[in-house]
A = this chain, B = another copy of it.
Amino acid sequence: MPAAAAALSPSAFIDLLVAITGPRGVITAEGDMAPYLEDWRKLYRGHALAVVRPASTDEVAAIVRLCAGAGVAVVPQGGNTGLVGGAVPDGDARSILLQLGRMNRVRSIDPIDYSMVVEAGCVLEAVQGAARDAGRKFPLSLGAEGTAQIGGLIATNAGGIHVMRYGMMRDLVLGLEVVLPDGSVLSELTTLRKNNVGYDLKQLFIGAEGTLGIVTAASLKLFPPLRATRTIFFALPSLADGPRLLSLCREFTGDAVESFELIPRQGIDFATAHVPGTVDPLEGRPEWTVLTDISGRSDERLQEDLDHLVEAAFQAGLVTDGTIAQSEAQSKALWLLREAIVEGQRLAPGIQIKHDVSVQVSDMPGFVHAASEAVWRIHPDALINPFGHLGDGNIHFNVTLPAGSPPDAVKGVSEIVYRIIDDFGGSISAEHGIGRLKAVAYAARCPKPRADLAARLRKAVDPKGIMNPSVFRPAR
C-alpha cells in the first residue's frame, strides 16, 4: 500500500497534475468523476483524488513520477468494459484514476509488413477499421469492441470469438511502450517478428491488469483479409460430440475454423424470450448446438468443403441437424442469437451468476456435466446456461437462481463450479482476468511457488506498490 502523501496537500497535488496535462486533463468534480469510478457491471464504486486524462506518453510518465513521489496509487482505465472490477479504484481516495482515452492515435500502419502501431486509448473497433482501410485484418473481436480500448485489452489479455484461429491479445502484440512505476519509459514499439535478446519483457505487462506499469502504445500483428466466410449452425446429438466435431471441422477445412461457439438450449430460450429479433434457427429444440465461422479461399471452394464436412459429420454421427447461412443477413441473425444470450439472461427473472472458466477442450463435456449435476444437487431449480468459446475450452458457465434465493447462494454456486474446475485442472478465469472480483477465489487455489514468484515479481517491478494496488490482492 502506498505511503501517505504526507508532504503534499491534495490541492497542491492536483495543481501539479494540472501543470502536467493542462486543465482539460484533470477532472476533480465528483459528478464528472462518477462515470469513471464505477465499473460496467456496477459491482464496484470507488473514490479518487482525480480522474486524469493525459494526451501523451510524456504526460503519463510525468504523472506516474509525481504519484510515485507523492505515494499516490495509479489505477489505469481504458474503455471501462472489464468484468472483474480491475479498472476502478477502491474506496479510500488515495489514488488517481488514469484514463487513457485521449491517447487514441494510430501512429503508423504498414500493409506490406502486416503491422500497425496504435496508442492505448484506441477503441478496438477503430483499430479493426484502420486495418481494414489498409487492406488488412486485425482479428481480435469481442462484444465490447465498440468501447474497449487497446490498452485495457492488452492489460487483460483479452480473448473473444477469434482466439481459435488468431490467439488471444498476447499473440497479436509485437511490441509495447510502457510507463514503468518509477516513471521511466520502456520503449519497445518494435514490429520485429523475431527478437531473442533476453527476457521478453513485454510479456510481463500483457495480462498484468495494470499492476506492473501503464501500457501507452502497442505494435500489433495484422493478417490478410478473408476472401470467403460462412456461418454454420449445427445441432449435436450430445455435448460429448462437441470437441470431436470441432476436430473434424479443423481437419476438413485446412484448419480454417475462425470461431466455434457452444449454444445450449437454455441460452437460446433466454435470448428468444427476452431479446427482440432473435429466432431459434432449427426445429425440434435441440439441447446442444454450435455456431461456427469457417473461412476459405473462395465461396465455391468453401461450399465444396462444407458439403464434405457436413456429410462426414452426419456419417460420423456428430450432428443431427444443421443450417448453413446463405447470406450475410442469415449469418448476422445467427450471430445476433449468440450475442443475445448474455442480454437474454440478464433480462430473465432471477439471480444471475456468471463464470468465465476454462478446461482443456476435450474435457469440456465432462466438466459441464459434472458442474451441472453438482449445482442441481444443491439447487434443483437452477437454470444452467453454459455457452461460449468451446473452440478454446472457455465456457461461460452461467447460472440463474430463483429470485429470493438466500444471499449466500451466489457465493455457494461459484464455489461449487470452481471446485469442479479444480477437479479438471481448469482455470477460474479464462479470459476476463482476476481483478478484484476473483482475488479471494484465486488466492485460495494458487499454488505456493506460483504465488511466491508472482509476489516477488510485483515487488521487483513496483517496489512502492503504487500500481493498481487493489488488483490481485485479496486482503484489500
Cβ < 8 Å to B, chain A residues 425-451:
425-434, 442, 446-450
**8 Å CB contact of A461 from B156, B200, B428, B456:** B456
Could you tell me if B428 and A197 are in contact, using CB atoms closer than 8 angstroms? yes
Cβ < 8 Å to B, chain A residues 234-284:
243-244, 247, 250-251, 253-256
Residues of B within 8 A of A359 (CB): 192
A143 on interface, CB distance cutoff 8 Å: no
Copies held by the complex = 2
Could you tell me if B192 and A429 are in contact, using CB atoms closer than 8 angstroms? no
A425 vs B175: C-alpha distance in the bound complex, in angstroms? 12
**8 Å CB contact of A450 from B201, B297, B428, B461:** B201
Chain B's closest residue to A191 (CB) is B360
**Contact pattern, A 288-302, Cβ under 8 Å of B = 1, otherwise 0:** 000000011100010
A427 vs B157: C-alpha distance in the bound complex, in angstroms? 25
Could you tell me if A193 and B449 are in contact, using CB atoms closer than 8 angstroms? no
A430 vs B110: C-alpha distance in the bound complex, in angstroms? 21
A433 vs B208: C-alpha distance in the bound complex, in angstroms? 25
Chain B's closest residue to A359 (CB) is B192
**8 Å CB contact of A171 from B171, B208, B295:** B171
Given A112-B244, A190-B360, A190-B427, 9 new contacts (CB under 8 A) = A113-B361, A167-B171, A193-B358, A193-B393, A196-B427, A197-B427, A200-B207, A297-B301, A297-B305
A interface vs B, CB < 8 Å? Answer: 110-115, 156-157, 159, 163, 167-168, 170-171, 180, 184-188, 190-201, 203-204, 206-209, 223-224, 226-227, 243-244, 247, 250-251, 253-256, 295-297, 301, 305, 358-363, 389, 392-394, 425-434, 442, 446-450, 452-454, 456-461, 472
Which 10 interchain pairs have the tightest Cβ spacing? A460-B460, A203-B203, A113-B362, A194-B430, A195-B427, A193-B392, A112-B362, A191-B360, A184-B449, A456-B460
30 contacts between A and B (CB under 8 A): A112-B362, A113-B360, A113-B361, A115-B360, A167-B171, A171-B171, A180-B453, A184-B452, A185-B449, A186-B447, A187-B447, A190-B425, A190-B427, A192-B359, A193-B361, A193-B393, A193-B394, A194-B431, A196-B433, A197-B434, A198-B207, A201-B454, A203-B203, A224-B250, A224-B255, A227-B254, A254-B254, A254-B256, A297-B305, A459-B460
